[in-house]
Structure 1
Amino acid sequence: MDGCRAPPSVATMRARRILAGALAALALGTVGVAQPAQAGGHPSRIKVMTLNVFYGGDELDLATGDFCAEPDACTETLTEVKRVIQAAGADIVGIQEPERNTSRIARLLGWYSSDRAHVMSRFPIIDPPDSDGLYVFVEVAPGRVVAVANMHLPSDPYGPYLVRDGGTRSDVLKLERDTRLAAAKSAVKPLPKLARQGIPVFLTGDFNSPSHLDWTQAVDDARDDVPFAVDWPASHALADAGLKDTFREAHPNPVKDPGFTWTPGGPESDPHEVYDRIDWVLRAGPGHTVASRVVGERDVDPYPTDHRGVVSTVDVTPAVPPVLAAPRERNVDLGDPIVVDYHGTDAVTLRDDAGRLIARQATPRQDGTVRFATRDLKRGRYTVNGAPVWLYPRDEPVRVATTKTSYRTGEKIAVDFSNAPGMGLDWISVFRAGDGNDAYLAYAYTGSLIEGRLSIGPDGIGDWPLPPGRYVVRLLPDDGLRSVAESKPFTVRK
């Protein structure tokens, strides 16, 4: 689920940011890989986990069970998040609601991480240039990978609450198609292709929807809170894409093993709560589910989030990755090296934004790492075998600016930004000058870009059109409410 301390209308807007972020990331470019992967190596047994950490993992006061008195102030709760992951024995974890803290939690574990895909692992992580942040490769054995994607579908309105409050099957199916189905279909598009190429694929997530495998006629007969069977559209669409529910593979009887993940309790629990299984570990491609279990308050006390996790044990034959050259960072300080992991290419090249060759390194081995020095280079955009990298002076701040100082009511607002964090859910919003970050108005996601231009207007999210007044725009990392850059004020006039 999802929410915030703001009024319900703002909570709804925040949930919609997740949908917009998924669609914006997908729109950045064609997702795919250059050449087919090869299956290879010996089978590996890995444990894959999904965990919603509740607004970054530092917003829950463990002593009171309520929100922290100050935003992001309960850092001790992050230690309990670490303990949950350790108790699960997980090797790979997809995190929902990370709010800038994916890498922070990974560092507590001594793990690798991707702030773009919100995935962490004890194994090295590679961000394929063609993935647009929708998935990463995890190198579970030397030169052998699995693909991992992570998803957080919109929470509001919530289907089981509609059923509880008297909604019909037709009502809830329409709600699900309108609220969650498009996001589920869009974000999953690249995964079946990877599976067909022989790469084991995992999709973790808080799907904010029950499964069509759970609300069956048998469950309807057994549970008073399930008045009728429902073929939940989001889960069915993912199954149609070839993704298998690992918990239901291990526990095929939903009456005997409901596997509830929502909710062990928390600040946003409903007074008349409905319990369900909305957090899943899905898989596709070569593999076999060995076991799956819910991880919760029986494992760690006090429990640090309002979702139980799920960890699944799967035997896979990891694949040789496709040909790639993947920069470890897309935003590099001038003076630091550009570090590139490669596979299957005979050379790695560095070019400037005009396409001029800056450096070339031959790669005599099948897999390896190369480094390009940057001390003699200028600020700007470069490419590594076509993958973009930006170089900035170490002390250059994040910048955000509107292209005009005055707009007419209803006119789109064009915003330039640079040196952005590039996290998976970075967003830019309009605020009335002087208002706090929880008073966001119209906004758009950056699509995890480091530098670019976006427009905020009638096709975006939030309050539109803006009434006459004095405003600023701010860039806020990773769906959080802490800004890292603010524009000069601009006006909206009649």
Structure 2
Amino acid sequence: MNVKRLKRRRVVASAGALIAAAMLSLGSTSAVATTGGHSAAEHERLRVMTLNIFYGGDDLDLKTGDFCAKPNGCPQTLVQIEHAITQARADIVGVQEPERDVERIASALGWYGSDRAHVMSRFPIIDPPGGNGLYVYVEVAPGRVVAVANTHTPSDPYGPYLVRDGGTVKQVLDLERKTRLPAVQDLIEVLPSLARKGIPVMLTGDFNSPSHLDWTPAVAAERPEVPYAVKWPVSSALAEAGLRDTYREAHPDPVAVPGFTWTPGSPEADAHEVFDRIDWVLTAGPSRTIDSTVVGEKGGPDVGVGVSPWPTDHRGVVSTLDVVPAVPQVLVAPATRRVTIGGNLPVTYHAPGRQGERVELRDAKGRAVTSRPTSSRTDGTVTLSAKGLRRGAYDVALVSRGKVVSKAPVWLYPAGEPTKVSVGKSSYKQGESIKVDWSNAPGMGLDWVSVYACPGGKCQDTSEYLVYTYTGSAIEGQAKIGPKSIGADSSWPLAPGRYVVRLLPDDGLVSVAQSAMFTVTK
């Protein structure tokens, strides 16, 4: 879940050296050549896990069961998160509330990680063009991939609490359609098309919603906290899009095996808590569920993998799947979207395999400034040099028979250039939307820009965020903060006074850039 703690918000990136290593791995191996350059499809068995790690995994004191005395002050809890993943024997993990720690955990495990997509794996990860941080490919066999997406829908207001407090079915459905259903629409638009192309799809997440497979008439007859059956909109919409609930495939009777994941205990638990199964591993495409189990505290209800002490406020789920991984579409995938001028950029490709194909770095005018041949290989990795180039936006392009068949954007910056954020004007009228620009952002899945008050012209690091929006993991971009932004219901219009805008990585509270001060006037 994700309840506010003194306005500490959580609801998800460009992967760095670990992604580069993953891409080098893809380039070093290829499937045995047969028709189309790849061997016949073979089945692979994968263990896919979902896990909400609670404020980055280092904010829970394992001794007291309460928040750490200092934010991010319990690194030993992060070690226990790593232990839980190891005990679950997971191959792929979707992480919620990661707070910049996906790649950190992955590194500790000797894995690959994406802070952009909030996915880690013991297999190489590829951030494909068009994925836009919504999903990544995991190369589970040489030259063959599965698609993995991860999500965390809004937590408040929470539907089961509304039921507990006397809400009607209509009120519950209206709440869910307004609060959580919009958060999965992009997934519904994108993931089924991947499955139709024969790519196995896995969607992990903390959905902050029960499942329609659990709130059935049979369950309503047995559980007092389920007074009526509900066709919960999020799970229903995902099911209608072809995504299957692996836990319910393995345990079809919700009366006999509820599989609760919320909550084994939490500093944020409600005084009159409602327990439910809100963390899921969903799948689509050529995959079959072998087994699924809850990962949580030893002795917990329906816990199949027990860990003591349990280091987070959600139980996890790990599902064993039999999949037929797919050959990806033609693609070019840079190791990072932020490139240091003077350095090198590894680029992975899956090409048609024709003579004369090249991977190029192209400037804003479409001119190739550096390139490397693919040597007619279908899969591989080349390294492009960024020496002597100018700061700015570029495209990495895969060129076949003189045409660009795939491209992906990157941005080049001088070594040491900081992240920057600015506002459009030094003064705004009350109620006027604020234009925000940023550059050289971390590009993580939940980077955000927010307005902070500066009473008396003094901007404190400890001041509270007011109204904000997410960057969409963009390295460079712009947005408007105004009446439709998050937090506007309580903070908009801004009162007359002085303010700044800050850019904060991955849903965390540590700013990496601050604008010049601006004024709001009547």
| TM-score bin (small chain) | over 0.9
Task: For 1:295-444, list aligned pairs within 5 A.
Answer: 295-298=295-298, 299-345=306-352, 346-363=357-374, 364-385=376-397, 386-433=407-454, 434-436=459-461, 439-444=464-469
Q: Distance in 1 between matches of 2:153 and 2:102?
A: 18
Matched, 1:219 2:219: yes
Q: Distance in 2 between matches of 1:422 and 1:384?
A: 17
Query: Is residue 37–residue 378 contact of structure 2 (8 Å, CA) maintained in 1?
Result: no
Query: What's the counterpart of residue 22 of structure 1?
Result: none
Distance 1:438 1:323, change over 3 A: farther
Q: Distance in 1 between matches of 2:484 and 2:270?
A: 32
Query: Is residue 46–residue 313 contact of structure 1 (8 Å, CA) maintained in 2?
Result: yes
Please state how far the C-alpha of 1:163 moved relative to its aligned partner. 1.0
Letter in 2 for 1:407: Y
Please state how far the C-alpha of 1:336 moved relative to its aligned partner. 1.9
**SS where residue 341 of structure 1 aligns?**
strand
Letter in 1 for 2:253: N
Q: Distance in 1 between matches of 2:125 and 2:140?
A: 9
Query: Is residue 200–residue 319 contact of structure 1 (8 Å, CA) maintained in 2?
Result: yes
Query: What's the counterpart of residue 101 of structure 1?
Result: 101
Higher mean C-alpha displacement, 179-188 vs 415-424: 179-188
Q: Distance in 1 between matches of 2:79 and 2:184?
A: 31
**SS where residue 409 of structure 2 aligns?**
strand
Distance 1:115 1:438, change over 3 A: farther
Q: Distance in 2 between matches of 1:103 and 1:422?
A: 13
Q: List runs of 5+ in structure 1 lacking aligned partners.
A: 19-35
C-alpha deviations, 1:4-53, integer Å up to 9, x for none?
321xxx46xx36x66xxxxxxxxxxxxxxxxx999952100000000000
Letter in 2 for 1:440: Y
Q: Distance in 2 between matches of 1:57 and 1:240?
A: 33
Q: Distance in 2 between matches of 1:492 and 1:356?
A: 44
Query: Is residue 106–residue 113 contact of structure 2 (8 Å, CA) maintained in 1?
Result: yes
Task: For 1:77-476, list aligned pairs within 5 A.
Answer: 77-298=77-298, 299-345=306-352, 346-363=357-374, 364-385=376-397, 386-433=407-454, 434-436=459-461, 439-462=464-487, 463-476=491-504
Letter in 2 for 1:418: S
2:505 to 453, 474, 477: 477
**SS where residue 471 of structure 1 aligns?**
strand
Please state how far the C-alpha of 1:187 moved relative to its aligned partner. 2.9
Please state how far the C-alpha of 1:186 moved relative to its aligned partner. 2.8
Q: Distance in 1 between matches of 2:368 and 2:379?
A: 23
Q: Distance in 2 between matches of 1:268 and 1:39?
A: 51
C-alpha deviations, 1:247-278, integer Å up to 9, x for none?
00001011111000000001111111111000
TM-score by length of 1: 0.93
Query: What's the counterpart of residue 42 of structure 1?
Result: 42
Please state how far the C-alpha of 1:436 moved relative to its aligned partner. 3.7
**SS where residue 208 of structure 2 aligns?**
coil
Query: Is residue 400–residue 485 contact of structure 1 (8 Å, CA) maintained in 2?
Result: yes
Please state how far the C-alpha of 1:362 moved relative to its aligned partner. 2.0
Query: Is residue 134–residue 187 contact of structure 1 (8 Å, CA) maintained in 2?
Result: yes
Q: How many residues align?
A: 471
Query: Is residue 292–residue 313 contact of structure 1 (8 Å, CA) maintained in 2?
Result: yes
Please state how far the C-alpha of 1:302 moved relative to its aligned partner. 1.1
Distance 1:314 1:438, change over 3 A: farther
Query: Is residue 290–residue 313 contact of structure 1 (8 Å, CA) maintained in 2?
Result: yes
C-alpha deviations, 1:192-218, integer Å up to 9, x for none?
000000000000000000000001111
Letter in 2 for 1:122: R
Q: Distance in 1 between matches of 2:40 and 2:431?
A: 56
Q: List runs of 5+ in structure 2 lacking aligned partners.
A: 13-35, 299-305, 398-406
Query: Is residue 37–residue 319 contact of structure 1 (8 Å, CA) maintained in 2?
Result: no
**SS where residue 307 of structure 2 aligns?**
coil
Q: Distance in 2 between matches of 1:321 and 1:395?
A: 36
Query: Is residue 426–residue 477 contact of structure 1 (8 Å, CA) maintained in 2?
Result: yes
Query: Is residue 296–residue 309 contact of structure 1 (8 Å, CA) maintained in 2?
Result: yes
Query: What's the counterpart of residue 404 of structure 2?
Result: none
Q: Distance in 2 between matches of 1:61 and 1:113?
A: 25
**SS where residue 404 of structure 1 aligns?**
coil
TM-score by length of 2: 0.88
Please state how far the C-alpha of 1:373 moved relative to its aligned partner. 0.9
